[in-house]
């Protein structure tokens, strides 16, 4: 599904990612943990195609294509989805408008016809109920005045409607209460299948109680310094990052 090879990225001539390699097979769930400022969001943004990052080395292959050559919207239509750590507020465009625009962009790209208005409403109503969001949310501006937790659930709503192949969740669990965390985890688990892969960026082992990862990586100072099974997350929870890489710990 996704292959990252020795990826180097800098921002304003400041190196941030310094040789990341990661291989995510179809159907796998990878968790990425690591101290603040280690480059997790940078990696997420580069995968989604945000401008302002300069790739100075390495390559990223997604479903056999050079991902870095594609525009952000092309990546989205090909099934790459980023749930933002800080979703933006866009007053004046309703959530439902964006959902429709996004879903139809994906469908057109696949050569499918646009979704029928009634079918669409039914689809969205089902998903929104599962996420325990009020239907009124659909008609509000995108994330406008949403609480932190509501914004995160809204990201998951978009993901649930679009059913992307590669879902990158950047700290979607941060700021969620226990119930919301379960709801978000259910959203991910219900999409989990051999066709869908996940990269979960998180600071807390808590999320991984609900979504069991195949692999856990530790990102520090722009490199993956350790990878392991789900037990690695438990170990990090109790010991912190210091024991892995003293120099990384010093910068926290």
Partner 1 sequence: MNYAEQFRQLAPLLPGRHLDWLEALRRAGEARFATGGFPSPREEEWKYTNVAPIEKKLFKPAAGESARVDKATLERYRLPEAWSLVFVDGVYAKDRSITAGLPEGVVLPLAEALERSPEQAEAFFHKIAAREEHGFVAFTTAYFRDGALIHVPAGLRLEKPLQIIHVATRPDGLSVLRHLIAVERNAEARVIETYIGTGSASYLTAAVTEIHLDENAGLEHIKLQIETDKAYHFGGIYAEQARSARLRQHHAAFGGLLARTEIHSELGHGAECELDGLFLATGRRHLDTHTLLRHRAPQAISRESYRGIAAGRGRGVFSGRIVVHQDAQKTDAEMSSRNLLLSEDAEIDSKPQLEIHADDVKCAHGVTVGQLDSSAVFYLQSRGVDELSARNMLTFAFANEMVEKIRPDSLKHQVQSALLAALPQADIREDWL
Ligand X SMILES: Nc1ncnc2c1ncn2[C@@H]1O[C@H](COP(=O)(O)OP(=O)(O)OP(=O)(O)O)[C@@H](O)[C@H]1O
Q: Which of ligand X, Mg ion, partner 1, none is residue 73 near (CB under 5 to 8 Å by kind)?
A: partner 1
By CB under 6 A, tell whether 15 contacts ligand X. no
Which lies closer to partner 1 via its Cβ, residue 24 or residue 76?
76
The DSSP bridge pattern shows strands 14-24 and 2-11 to be antiparallel
Which lies closer to partner 1 via its Cβ, residue 117 or residue 250?
117
Of 4, 20, 30, 38, the one binding ligand X (CB under 6 A) is 38
In the complex, what is the shortest distance from the CB of residue 20 to ligand X, in angstroms, rounded to a whole number? 11
Interface with partner 1 in residues 85-114 (CB under 8 A): 87-88, 90-94, 96-98, 100-102, 105-106, 109
Of 7, 39, 83, 131, the one binding ligand X (CB under 6 A) is 39
In the complex, what is the shortest distance from the CB of residue 110 to Mg ion, in angstroms, rounded to a whole number? 31
Per CB under 6 A, which region of 30-38, 108-116, 149-157, 160-168 contacts ligand X?
A: 30-38
- 8 Å CB contact between 182 and 211: no
CA-CA-CA-CA torsion for 90, 91, 97, 103, nearest 10 degrees?
10
Which lies closer to ligand X via its Cβ, residue 16 or residue 24?
16
Per CB under 6 A, which region of 10-18, 64-72, 183-191, 231-239 contacts ligand X?
A: 10-18
By CB under 6 A, tell whether 72 contacts ligand X. no
By CB under 6 A, tell whether 87 contacts ligand X. no
Site residues (CB under 5 A) for Mg ion? 40-41, 85
| Contact positions vs ligand X (CB under 6 A) | 11-12, 14, 16, 34, 36-42, 52, 85
């Amino acid at each position: 599904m996704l292959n990252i090879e020795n990826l180097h990225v800098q921002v304003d001539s400041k190196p941030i990612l310094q040789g990341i390699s990661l291989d995510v097979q179809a159907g796998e769930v990878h968790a990425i943990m690591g101290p603040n400022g280690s480059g997790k969001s940078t990696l997420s943004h580069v995968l989604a195609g945000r401008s302002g990052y300069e790739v100075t080395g390495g390559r990223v292959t997604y479903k056999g294509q050079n991902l870095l050559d594609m525009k952000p919207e092309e990546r989205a239509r090909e099934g790459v989805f980023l749930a933002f750590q800080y979703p933006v507020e866009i007053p004046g465009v309703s959530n439902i408008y964006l959902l429709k625009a996004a879903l139809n962009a994906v469908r057109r790209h696949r050569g499918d016809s646009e979704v029928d208005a009634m079918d669409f409403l039914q689809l969205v109503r089902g998903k929104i109920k599962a996420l325990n969001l009020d239907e009124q949310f659909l008609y509000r501006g995108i994330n406008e005045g949403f609480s932190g937790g509501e914004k995160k659930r809204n990201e998951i709503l978009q993901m649930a409607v679009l059913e992307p192949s590669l879902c990158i969740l950047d700290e979607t669990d941060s700021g969620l209460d226990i119930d919301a965390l379960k709801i978000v985890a259910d959203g991910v688990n219900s999409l989990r299948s051999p066709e869908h892969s996940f990269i979960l960026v998180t600071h807390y082992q808590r999320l991984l109680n609900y979504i069991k990862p195949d692999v856990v990586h530790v990102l520090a100072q722009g490199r993956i310094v350790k990878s392991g099974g789900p037990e690695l997350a438990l170990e990090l929870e109790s010991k912190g990052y210091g024991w892995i890489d003293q120099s990384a710990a010093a910068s926290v």
